[in-house]
Amino acid sequence: MEGAVVKRPEEQYAILCRGTERILPEGELLRKLREGRALRVKLGVDPTAPDLHLGHTIALSKLREFQDLGHQAVLVIGDFTAMIGDPSGRSAMRPVLSPEEIQRNARTYQEQAFKILLRERCEIRHNREWFSTLTMEDTVRLCAQYTIARLLEREDFGRRYRAGDPIGVHELLYPLLQGHDSVVISADLELGGTDQTFNILVGRELQRGAGGEGQVAMLLPILEGTDGVQKMSKSLGNAIGIQEAPREMYGKLMRISDELMLRYRDRLASETVGEGPEQVHPMDAKKQLARTLVERFHGAAAAEDAQRFFEGRHQERELVDPEEHELVEEGDGGIWICKLLREIRFAPSTSEARRLVQQGAVRVDGTVVKDVDYRFRRGDSLVQVGRRRLARVALHTGGTGDA
C-alpha cells in the first residue's frame, strides 16, 4: 500500500506483538503475515456514549500500527449492536439507547477515531447496514449455530446466571451479532480487550462455519479508570475523554496514583514519555505523561498551557510549610544526604534514605538528587521528599541541631 512501511513478516510480527496480552491461536498471525497480503484488521466500537476515552485508544493505536505496516483497517461502528450494548464484564443489563442517541454518538466516534487512525487507509462500516435487513429466518439460522450452554460458559453470563441476576435474551445474542460482523467483512484479525476473548472467538467459529479460515484474536490490556479499580468507563465516572478540555485532561492525569501512572505510561505512552520510572521522580514522570497525552490530542501549545495552569493553580497549594532544622557540618564541610534525611526524620534508616535517593524521590532546592554520595552544603536550603515532606536545613560548625 502506498506510503506504508515495508517490513519482513517476522519484523512486522515483533512490532505487532508489543503491548498485547495474548494472540489466539498462537502462531497463526505470523502465518498470515507470511502470505504477503494486506490483512483485514477489524476493530468494533459500539457508540454507547458521546466520546471516546483513553481506554479506547489502546486498540486504536494498535490498529494504526497495522495501517502503518500496509494492512487494511476496518472500523465497525456498532450502530445496531449499540441498542444492546456489549454485556462483557457487566453485572446488570444496560439501558437501551434511542436511535437518535446512537447515531449522534456514532458520528462523534468516527471523527474522534481519526485523531489516531489514517483516514485514507480505514474502511468504515456500520453494522446496521446488514442487521437491518436480517430476516427472522436469518436470525434463527444464526442462533442455531450456538447453544445456551456454550454462551453460559462466558464468565459474566455464568456468574449472573448462578447469582439469579436477570440476563436478557438480547444480551445472549450479542456475541453472535459481533461474530456475524466478522463474517460479513471477512476479517483476518480482530482487536479487542481481554474481556472480548469470548466474543472474538465466537466470530472465528462463525467464520469457519461459513467456510472461511477464521480470524485471529489479538487481545489487548484493559485500562483501569482513574479510580484504579474498574475498567475505564464514562458510565462509571472514571474516564478521561480524548475530547476533554486540555486543562481538565491534564489535571485528571495528575490526580491519579503513582502506581496507576506507571500502568498508564506503559499502555498509552511507552515510546514517547522518555526515561523509565526508576530514573524519574514520580511527579516528573506524571507531568511527562500528562503533557504527552494532552499534546497528542490537543497540540503542543495546549499541553504547555495546561501544564503551566496546573503548576500555577494546584501544585504550589499542595506544598506544606517547611520544617526548620539546624545540623552540624561534618569535618570536610557539608553533610551526607543520607545522614541528613535520617537526622531530620525523613527516612527511618540510612538504607531507606539510600532507596529514596536512588528512586529520585529527593530534591534539594527543587533539583532531583540521584547521587547517593551527594553532600548537602552551606548555600543549600530546601530538602523535599515526595510531595508532602519539606524542610529548610541550615548548617553550622558547632553545637547540636534539633534533630
Q: Does residue 237 fall inside a structural domain?
A: no
Chain segment 354-371, per-residue pLDDT in tens: 999 998 889 998 788 989
Residue 29 CB burial class (10 angstroms; 0-12, 13-18, ≥19): buried
pLDDT digits (tens, 9 = 90+) for 33-80: 999 999 999 999 988 877 899 999 999 999 999 999 999 999 999 999
Global pTM value? 0.72
**Are residues 216 and 86 both part of a single domain?**
yes
Asked if residue 230 belongs to a domain, the reply is no
Assess if residue 65 is contained within a domain. Answer: yes
- Give tens-digit pLDDT for 319-341: 556 889 999 988 778 999 999 99
CATH number, domain of 392, equals: 3.10.290.10
pLDDT range class, residue 4, cuts 50, 70, 90: low
Split at pLDDT 50, 70, 90, the class of 3 is: low
- CA–CA separation, 269 and 58 (whole Å): 10
Residue 356 included in any domain: yes
The x, y and z cell numbers of residue 278, run together, are 526508576
CATH (domain of 157): 3.40.50.620
Please check the confidence at residue 401 and state whether its pLDDT lies above 50.
no
Range of the domain at 375: 323-396
% residues pLDDT > 90 (the chain): 56
DSSP 128-180: HHHHTT--HHHHHHHHTTS-HHHHTTSHHHHHHHHHT----HHHHHHHHHHHH
